[in-house]
Structure 1
Amino acid sequence: MVFIFSSCKVGRFIIYNFADIKDYKKFPSRSVEKGTTSFYFSKTEENKIPKEIEVNNAVLPFESYLEENETVAFMVIQNDTILYENYWDNYSESSIVPSFSMAKSVTSILIGCAIDEGYIKSVDEPITNYIPELIESGFEKVTIEHVLQMTSGVKFDEGYFNPFGDVATFYYGTNLRKAVRKMKLKAEPGQKFEYISGNTQLLGLILERAIKNQTVSSYLEEKLWQPLEMEYEASWSLDRKKNGLEKTFCCINARARDYAKIGRLYLNKGNWNGKQIVSESWVERSTKVDKTNGSAWYYQYQWWLPTQTGDFMAQGILGQFIYVNPKNNLIIVRLGKKSGSVDWWTLFTDLSKFY
């Protein structure tokens, strides 16, 4: 009875009951293999981290504060050196943690790679060049840039507690291609920013069709996982096992140190030890403040901008973060079971001043 019930979207939502740090075990996935060599950050002998933090006029031990707010991994890297690395609750450097929406930023990198290689002509192309089924729904005016900027005007319920909503369909459903075909518009594109996961799944389908004879996972392997010399293999969760599509709005499953290398790539403007992985212009456009055409200054090409001073980050539900501060040559990775009661944006920007 449970097996039959769990096969439908609503049943899976009720059984699994909201996103969880172990969700990578619940869904089929494609493997993403590492290469023959691995890049390792240097490491200091002693952890360099503030001993205390002031929160609501109370001074608390910093490490205890991280642990009490359900952090499982926390890393600080500066000048390619790990200044601090710690794990809690039986997690370690080899523990898998789902990216959740940090995958949106990775999807953006892959779109940039596809443009560099000519698979995609330009962000100014209408998405119907790749998803012609949406012509009937009036998507001809929606460009790839609109989708990247979350200004597409797509109608999508981002509510995480509604088993009948769009997020449940995309996260727990078993046919993302069908779900994409059913998408509708509620507003003219280029008018207003609205963060919705449906935009990034559109990017995923565009990417799959642009690269043609590859899966999104194999493209991740080719363009990022192996060139960035990841320490561990990874995986990308799918909607279904047979002919599945990657959940590009979420669901890369990897380790803290390898997430940090995504940050290092963008810290170095798309260059990895002398090899340009994705064009510098793409990195700059993805992390530059832009308030035009309905764009929100704090969100560019699937990356969050916590301030207007050059820092940027990938962010996922439950408090998964890759924070990059180019001025201080700093990368922070935080992974957790929950976000806790922490204002992580402020914590990262304040912590960056310590180094």
Structure 2
Amino acid sequence: MRKLNQLKFIAITLLFLTTLNSCKVGRFVVYNFADINDHKKFPARNIETGTNTFLFSATTKGKVPKDLYINEKSYPFEQYLKDNKTVAFLIIQNDTIQYEKYWEKYDETSIVPSFSMAKSITSILIGCAIDDKLIQSVNEPITNYIPELKQNGFEKVTIEHLLQMTSGLKFNEGYTNPFGDVATFYYGTNLRKAISKMKLKSEPGKEFEYLSGNTQLLGLVLERALKDKTITSYLEEKIWIPLEMEFDASWSLDKKKNGLEKTFCCINARARDYAKIGRLYLNKGKWNGKQIVSEDWVMQSTKIDTTKGSVGYYQYQWWLPTQTGDFMAQGILGQYIYVHPEKNLVIVRLGKNEGKADWWEILSSLGHAY
């Protein structure tokens, strides 16, 4: 009898979890929090490479730091990276890989989710869409593309407000609340419906607040502007093939059928190809002589701007860690594409989590020291 009751309990539990798994809260309960294997959990559209492949040069005499100096203490470089949950670390200067190392059974072929580094890539696609005259300008109200938000008072919210995180959006960015907005966007199965319910809490253009909802709104603007193309196919056409990526990739969706790309978080790719995103901006939007996205867009995306509610450390979905010309894309578990134009340098760090490291300080220190 006791064994029978245990079997009934297990069966009921499995049924409960299966039912939960079909909805947002269920996904949250089953998957708990974002982790480095999330690319396996959600439906996705594939991003294919072209016929040509660009490979960074390699050297056996790379400039590799032996130690890291943090708060006046010295740490062995490689051991520090390993101890702080790093799975991939690349240093590329003058198009040459100075350092490339993987841990935790990861290698150059391993897929790692971008998490919020996708925000920076979404920004590139907005720039491409403006170049292609699919979007008129960043000054357009987003209701030109998402008219259903007029009833929610979004007429004054522009594309630039979304890029700058100054929209005044009402959005709960808390990652531990299964009923919050981030859970709805990350684990939910109908982003378009969730977007139609979005509200404002303040007037746009007054204050910076980092909210993933802004980038997902950019995603719907982009989808509407593209009309007969998916965001994934546009990424493939404008970036993945022209940048001669080494590997195929994917972009996670809210649902399999007619899904919308989770533009605030979820491109799944490899370390070397993430580095090529950095190289594109290092070269002011050019790739081996061809302008992929306008130089003006790159300059606008990496300049310091504190007007209209903006802050000096964030610009068009890119982070500016020191305000001395370097910039980076950043994801929640410590995923980084760091670029230092003056040093012709790109650094990629991917990890299972941040560890106990201050990666802003480490990456900018490495960048300035090269």
Band of TM-score, shorter chain: over 0.9
Alignment partner of 1:162 is 2:177:
yes
Q: Which runs of 5+ in 1 are unaligned?
A: none
Q: Which residue of 1 aligns with 2:67?
A: 52
TM-score by length of 1: 0.99
**After the TM superposition, which residues 50-129 of structure 1 pair with which residues of structure 2 at under 5 Å, given as runs?**
50-129=65-144
1:292 to 307, 312, 318: 307
Partner of 1:141: helix, strand, or coil? coil
Partner of 1:140: helix, strand, or coil? coil
1:246 to 261, 272, 277: 261
Partner of 2:224: helix, strand, or coil? helix
Verify the 8 A CA contact 1:47 1:85 in the aligned structure 2.
Answer: no
CA distance in 2, matches of 1:227, 1:275: 9
CA distance in 2, matches of 1:322, 1:346: 14
Q: By how many angstroms is 1:174 displaced?
A: 0.1
Residue-by-residue CA offset, 1:192-234 (whole Å, 9 max, x unaligned): 0000000000000000000110000000000000000000000
CA distance in 2, matches of 1:352, 1:109: 23
Alignment partner of 1:213 is 2:218:
no
Q: By how many angstroms is 1:57 displaced?
A: 4.2
Partner of 1:232: helix, strand, or coil? coil
2:32 to 7, 12, 17: 17
Q: Which residue of 2 aligns with 1:260?
A: 275
Alignment partner of 1:330 is 2:330:
no
The structure whose Rg is larger is 2
CA distance in 2, matches of 1:192, 1:57: 36
**After the TM superposition, which residues 145-184 of structure 1 pair with which residues of structure 2 at under 5 Å, given as runs?**
145-184=160-199
Q: By how many angstroms is 1:56 displaced?
A: 4.2
Count of residue correspondences: 355
Partner of 1:350: helix, strand, or coil? helix
Q: By how many angstroms is 1:59 displaced?
A: 2.1
CA distance in 2, matches of 1:53, 1:219: 40
CA distance in 2, matches of 1:145, 1:37: 35
- What letter is aligned with 2:255? R
Residue-by-residue CA offset, 1:69-110 (whole Å, 9 max, x unaligned): 000000000000000000000000000000000000000000
Q: By how many angstroms is 1:15 displaced?
A: 1.1
Verify the 8 A CA contact 1:50 1:354 in the aligned structure 2.
Answer: no
CA RMSD in angstroms comes to 0.7
Residue-by-residue CA offset, 1:25-54 (whole Å, 9 max, x unaligned): 000000000000100000111342111123
CA distance in 2, matches of 1:314, 1:193: 18
Partner of 2:45: helix, strand, or coil? strand
